[in-house]
Chain A
Amino acid sequence: MIAHLPALQVAIPLFAAPLCVLLRKGTLPWLIAVAVSWVALLIAGVQLDNVIDDGPISYALGGFAAPFGIEYRIDPLNAFMLLIVSGIAAVVLPFARKSVEAEIREDQHFLFYGAFLLMLTGLLGMAVTGDAFNLFVFIEISALSSYALIAMGKNRRALRAAFTYLVMGTAGATFILIGIGLLYVVTGTLNMADLAQRLQPISETRTVLVAFTFILVGVSLKLALFPLHLWLPNAYTYAPSVVTAFLAATATKVAIYVLLRFVFTIFGVDFSFGALPLQEIFLVLAIASIVIASTVAIYQNNVKRLLAYSSLAQIGYIILGFSYGNVTGLSASIMHLFNHAATKGALFLIMGCVVYRVGSAHIDRLQGLGRRMPLTMFGFTIAGLSLIGVPLTAGFISKWYLVLGAMERGWWPVAVVVLATSLLAVVYVWKVVEVAYFRPLPEDAAEVTDPPLSMLIPAWILILATIYFGIETSLPVGISQQAAQFLFAASP
């Protein structure tokens, strides 16, 4: 059983998804989804433990050995990713019941849970696989199910947001496919480890360079790096709250993982940073993301859209760390994958609570909510502090290593930018805090209170996680550093 865990990680959600669709009514779809997510988390935890103790795990799917069979390969980086994705799912799904009841049509609930489990399958599969084409398959599974989930939002614009995402997302996935295809043509293999070996002698050829570029652009679109980010704000704003929370915490993170996998493991550090001016390109795009997205966030009147732009900025920070090209920078990026997943997950779950009670995420509807929904808005404040990067929160740890990495490189202006842009976050977080606590309640305000415990507890679990991992940092910091060192060391 233990030996088959990598396959089970993906197989269980995959087979549970049609099961949910078959069981049309009642709470069974939700129960199955929750159970599956907890099992997935357990599996991810066990695998992380094994990888840290024994080293990378290699698993041949169906017993067919690589390079002809599909291989699942787990090293510290993707073990960590599996933990993040399944962890967020395990917290979001219990929250989902009431939220989905309020935001999605009753006759679509079973479809929701089915699609959610498919998206979970796709994301977990992307993280666990060691085969390039298998990766593409899972990319498509997660993407298609996410389009469906976004379209289930109440607002009419959800459909259009989903469609825009579909078009752009398919373009991105197609680019990735073209890249993988080109690599297959010149090497004859799709297995990642095998590709890494076979690409070394031919890395100077134009085909490989073009493949690299296609893959980079495709992945950049998936991870919403400026200027390929246009799909994200609308998708996050109009999707159902649960979907937004899950997407914000996982989808772009897994896309970043794919980037790291291609750059470090398949193409190798020397080629990737040498063939193209990758560092400079990503440095500039990352800083542009951070500055522009943070500034735009300040002017948003819909809190979900504000948080969406904030996510774009945080993705910028992650790519910034990657662009340093040193272990500190890379570990800062990986750490921020974790810290931001917890922080943004918490914030969007809180917004889910607000939408549940008030019916809208527009900032004017949050007036005076600090008094009516005290636990909810206090939670928002704490998670907001993590977004800013106040010490004793998880966000601070990532910022610490980001600045440290820049200083190690001697890139002092970058260090200044990281700190200065945190001040932009202060502005947009405080904007919401002020409205919640200082504006008087509007006269026509409905009698609202804190949401039910099934929603409050998952949100607060993530909020407490942002504080816990800001103080007891050995898990995120330790694993991130281990993963970063492994990536650099194992790079061809």
Chain B
Amino acid sequence: MTEQVLLILTVLAPLVGAAGIVLIGDRPNLRESVTLITAGGLFAINIALISFVTDGGRPEVELVSFLPGASIKLVAEPLGLLFGLIASGLWIVTSIYSIGYMRGHGEKNQTRFYAYFAIALSSTMGVAYAGNLISMFAFYEVLSLSTYPLVTHAGTEEARRGGRTYIGILIGSSIALFLFAILWTWTSTGSMDFVPGGILRGKMDSLSLSVLLGLFVFGIAKAGVMPFHRWLPAAMVAPTPVSALLHAVAVVKAGVFAITKIAVYIFGIDLLAEAGSGRFFMYVAATTIVLASIVALRQDDLKKRLAYSTISQLSFIVLGAMMGHSLGIIGGGMHIATHALGKITLFFAAGAILVALHKTKVSEMRGIGRTMPLTMAFFLIGSLSISGLPPTGGLWSKWYLLMGTLEIGDYILFVVLLLSSLLSMGYLLPIVVRAFFAAPQAGGHGGVGAAVSDAEEAARPAIKEAPLFILIAMAISSAGTIALFFAPGPVARLVAQIFPDLGGL
């Protein structure tokens, strides 16, 4: 199979899967098999692309000559490959999870759910492998649109309002800012292609560069840089599998991935460093990191807390992209991987708690570690990853970013990154501690008889774990997090391929 065919298949295969899901309709097991087979196939295709890219090749295929001088084309390069692998791999895991969740929760309209999920993955692949800005923009918009039915799945008034914020901010920012930036790039340079070293050198003065960079950073609102972050908590009305994959992995990662790719291939790391354009935005990212963590501390709804945690963690990657140093890109790329695995575990656990115990609020989660020990153990692993603690991969991505801040001599940012770890521990670890060590909330109050039965209950908590499929999914993602601790090399080396003069890592 030639590499061009593989590339086209990354976008096409999920669409075919979506068609299959729609055609099969109401036969659940058959329909879910289509999803699993498509997801597995997509992951295999991405793996097949690895060898072509690590050889130094950049497979390229032009899909359609869209406008004179601009075509929709796909190009496989290290960063995109990394994102493609993560998104497709986690699609498999999320599909396993979805089966458990959607059935355990009795969700309706499952065909529509799985079909739009597949379309969303297709557009994610398109963003990952986009060969120029216009292709990236096209797939980016399709991603926003295809995830809207997923976010508003419940069809309730609350879902409608959440959906409005979601689509309003995403489409609004992308048309008003992102598209403007793309057109500005086009008129200034005559090109929209992603080229190593960037295409903007010598084409505009440094003030214009900074404004252009700002248009990209804020226009790509999927990266959650404040103040364009409100769509993330609003999207938490979605069913948890949607939150897990899309908002811990695909949608948000598409945003930070896009910013990173634009920093490397449109601006060029060296240009960013020389012109100093990234400086200001590093501080914008740092502000988001800290502010979002503080807001997370104050959230009682678990999914909202995780949402703000995501906003905070995403800005790590943005900070890395704005650094103007290869360590920032490598750290950011690694963080795409480690955060994806860690966060998805946390969202899976949140969904598990919802399905098994019907709880959504942190304040109600005392002592649930006795009823759901496995789930809370996985939650612990996810928390460690987000906080950047061993034995999880989150340690290494933070490590590279910290090294990067030292290399560019910015000690304030160094401190901010360390501070954020503390804050993450603050909003995640207490949940685990209270789950395992606090007394479970009793049902009744008052009366000797009631107290006795409560004590008996506390003495022998029944284990009421999440459905099996959910547990399997959480196990896989946690294992991945821990695996990345012991073997971060392949990921780091893959991203470092972007910088051929870096030599060995």
Contacts and interface: CB of A to CB of B under 8 A. Distances in A.
A416 B180 contact: yes
B131 to A, nearest CB: 15
B2 interface: no
26 contacts: A385-B145, A388-B175, A390-B145, A390-B171, A391-B142, A392-B142, A404-B183, A404-B186, A404-B187, A407-B183, A407-B184, A415-B180, A416-B176, A419-B176, A419-B179, A419-B180, A422-B176, A423-B172, A430-B167, A430-B168, A434-B160, A438-B152, A471-B64, A471-B72, A472-B64, A477-B68
Given A391-B141, A392-B138, A434-B164, A426 B183 contact: no
Contact of A400 (B67, B159, B167, B172): B67
A423 B186 contact: no
Contacts of B65: 474
Chain B interface mostly = helix
Contacts of A481: 68
Nearest to B179: A419
Given A390-B141, A438-B160, A471-B66, A423 B183 contact: no
A416 B137 CA distance: 18
Given A400-B183, A403-B183, A407-B183, A426 B171 contact: yes
B171 A438 contact: no
A476 to B, nearest CB: 11
Contacts of A472: 64
A430 B164 contact: yes
B155 interface: yes
Interface string A367-410: 00000000000000000010011111000010010011001100
A408 B142 CA distance: 28
Contacts of B145: 385, 390
B168 A426 contact: yes
Given A390-B141, A438-B160, A407 B187 contact: yes
Interface string B126-152: 000000001001100110010000001
Contacts of A390: 141, 145, 171
Q: Which 9 A-B pairs have the closest CB atoms?
A: A391-B138, A438-B160, A407-B187, A403-B183, A419-B176, A422-B175, A423-B172, A391-B141, A390-B141
Interface in A290-323: none
A448 interface: no
Nearest to B183: A403
Nearest to A470: B66
A423 B169 CA distance: 10
Interface string A435-477: 0011000000000000000000000000000000001111001
Interface residues of B, number: 30
Nearest to A410: B187
Contacts of B138: 391-392
A423 B176 contact: yes
A473 B155 contact: no
A389 B172 CA distance: 12
A385 B157 CA distance: 23
Most A-side CB within 10 Å, residue of B157, B175, B179, B180: B175
Nearest to B140: A391
Contacts of A407: 183-184, 187
Interface in B371-401: none
A28 interface: no
Given A391-B134, A472-B64, A477-B68, A408 B175 contact: no
A314 to B, nearest CB: 16
Contacts of B180: 403, 415-416, 419
Given A391-B138, A391-B141, A471-B64, A426 B155 contact: no
Nearest to A427: B168
A23 interface: no
A477 B142 CA distance: 23
Interface string B256-277: 0000000000000000000000
A438 B141 contact: no
Nearest to A481: B68
A11 interface: no
Contacts of B72: 471
A492 to B, nearest CB: 29
A400 B186 CA distance: 11
B154 to A, nearest CB: 10
Contacts of B68: 477, 481
Contacts of A275: none
A52 interface: no
Counting chain A CB atoms within 10 Å of each CB, the highest count among B142, B172, B183 belongs to: B183
A388 B68 CA distance: 22
